[in-house]
Amino acid sequence: MFLKQLSILNFKNYEEAQLEFSEKINCFLGNNGEGKTNLLDAIYYLSFCKSYFNPVDSQNIKHEEPFFVVEGYYQKNEKEEVIYCGLKRNQKKQFKRNKKNYEKLADHIGRIPLVIITPLDVLLIIDGSDVRRKFVDGIISQYDRTYLTNLLAYNKALNHRNLVLKSFWLNRNFDQDTLDVWDEQLVQYGNLIHVARKSFIDEFTPIFQKYYSEISKGQEKVELSYRSQLNDGDYKELLTEGIAKDRGNHYSNVGVHKDDLVFNLGGLQLKRFGSQGQQKTYLLALKLAQAELIQNISQQKVIILLDDIYDKLDGKRMSQLLGIVGNGDFGQVFITDTNLERIPSILSSEDIQYKSFKIEEGGVVGV
């Protein structure tokens, strides 16, 4: 599947635009603040029913306009599919496939596989463990609906358990039987989540290492590991052992909600010892591995959005990256850059098919 045409009205800084794309690589070129990333976000909307950069739908309507529309025309095998997203202020968002409304937006997720790579990805390295858990959960949930169900059930039980712990503290009492009700659910769903995450990391890591090696030309050795309290302990026993600390802190200190990913480079912590170029390469490898894994499971080529990727990468690594995404293993690719010649020059030298769009003030002014 690939996106043949994108049509937008009153979306972010665009009053109106229609673009027809190459099924290979498409470059959005222009200065910062002109609207290149907004085009990527419109494409992201059509896959995930929401913006990647601003989850408040109404704030994606062009200033003082009453509505926005984003519509994509896709080619899937011999058939055309039309995906429509429309929002009027103070009304419910409409999302349609071939003119038919979805009853649940979740039914659309995974239909058009897509991975976005942006400067915001650095938060995976510098922010807390919750960001890295969301990264893992987001990938697994795209191909395993049962996992998402278990995750929601776990979070609900965790919230109830924390409320119970807080009420014990406020009322100066304690009832183990009440706590056991939620402990049973945490153990049930937590163990399933742990098994799924561990299996994911086992499958994901060699793919990730392959891409890092390809981009860096094997200059560094990278490691990715899964840190969980459940790796070496029985969950029920850990809950029992930790009850004193839970009562003292008024929340649950043990469980898969404390899981984390450990990013290392040459045996050292990436966050502290990796250069900006190495960190960028690490993130690119993570996202390309995400795309390959989803592609393998869904049996559909994944659309890749690359936003401002040249920053912090040297020319050699950039050429390697463009060669990887342009060799046909992945699906359609969309790239933004502030330099009008840089990426087209690399693509031409590698004999990779592409189409360029010059973006200026929320419009396409040249091709």
Q: Are 270 and 217 in contact (CB under 8 A)?
A: no
Query: What's the CA gap between 334 and 343, in Å, rounded?
Result: 12
Query: What's the CA gap between 42 and 35, in Å, rounded?
Result: 11
Q: Tens digit of pLDDT for each residue in 161-199? A: 999 999 999 999 999 999 999 999 999 999 999 999 999
For the four alpha carbons of 311, 314, 319 and 325, in that order, the dihedral sign comes to: negative
Query: What's the CA gap between 67 and 89, in Å, rounded?
Result: 6
Confidence of residue 337 (pLDDT cuts 50, 70, 90): very high
Please identify, in words, the CATH class of the domain defined by 1-113+311-367.
alpha beta
Q: Would the pLDDT of 57 be above 70?
A: yes
Cα 336 to the center of its chain, rounded Å: 18
Q: Would the pLDDT of 52 be above 70?
A: yes
Query: What's the CA gap between 18 and 24, in Å, rounded?
Result: 18
Q: What is the mean pLDDT of residues 223-235?
A: 95
Extents of the domains making up the chain: 1-113+311-367, 116-299
Locate 108 and state its tokens.
Answer: 């659309």
Q: Are 89 and 67 in contact (CB under 8 A)?
A: yes
Q: What is the mean pLDDT of residues 233-250?
A: 95
To the nearest whole percent, how much of the chain has pLDDT over 90? 79
Question: What's the pLDDT at 366?
Answer: 67
* Contacts of residue 337, Cβ cutoff 8 Å, sequence gap at least 6: 27, 28, 29, 36, 308, 309, 310, 343
User: Are both 1-113+311-367 and 116-299 of the same fold?
Assistant: no
Q: Would the pLDDT of 355 be above 90?
A: yes
Q: Tens digit of pLDDT for each residue in 140-166? A: 987 888 998 999 999 999 999 999 999
Q: Return the CATH architecture of domain 116-299.
A: Up-down Bundle (1.20)
